[in-house]
Amino acid sequence: MPTRKWTLDEARAALPGIIEITEHAHERSRQLQQHLTKGIRPENEQEGLEDELERVLTQWVEAVQSMGAEVKQLWLVDFDNGRGYYCWQYGESDLLYEHSYEGGFAARKRITTEDQPS
C-alpha cells in the first residue's frame, strides 16, 4: 500500500483522533501492566492479561495505520510529508516536530512555518 503524503494542516486535523485512540490504549495498557506486576497469579490468568495487553497494542497500531499515519514505536506516530515526517509522541498536545527520513526521532526539530511548502 502506498504511503500517504500529509500536509501539515491535514496531519494536524487528524491528530485529535490519533490522540483519542492513543489515550484510550495507553490507559488500558497501563491498567493491564499494573495488574501484571501485582503479585503472583495463576498461569492462565497471567497469560490472559498478557494476551489482552498484546491485543490492546495491536489494535492501537491498526487504528493509527487505518488513519494513514505510521507507528514508529510505542506511542510514537509519524506523518509522511514527502520530505520526511511530521512527528508526534504521546503526551504532546499538538504536532510540533518533524524530522528527515534518515534522521529519525533523534533528529526531531520544531516545525517552523518557513520550512513548510507553499
Whether 27 is covered by a domain: the verdict is yes
Q: Write phi, then psi, for 22 (nearest 5 degrees).
A: -70, -45
Tens digit of each residue's pLDDT (9 = 90 or more) over 32-52: 999 888 877 777 788 899 999
In this structure, is residue 63 part of a structural domain? yes
Higher-confidence position of 4 and 40: 4
Q: What is the DSSP letter of 3?
A: P
Domain count, the chain: 1
Q: What is the pLDDT of residue 110?
A: 97
Answer whether residue 16 is part of any domain: yes
Q: Please tell me the predicted confidence (pLDDT) of residue 118.
A: 47
Q: From 113, 78, 103, 112, select the one nearest 92 (Cα to Cα).
A: 78
Domain containing 56: what range?
8-115
Q: What is the pLDDT of residues 52-111, one digit of tens each?
A: 999 999 999 999 999 999 999 999 999 999 999 999 999 999 999 999 999 999 999 999
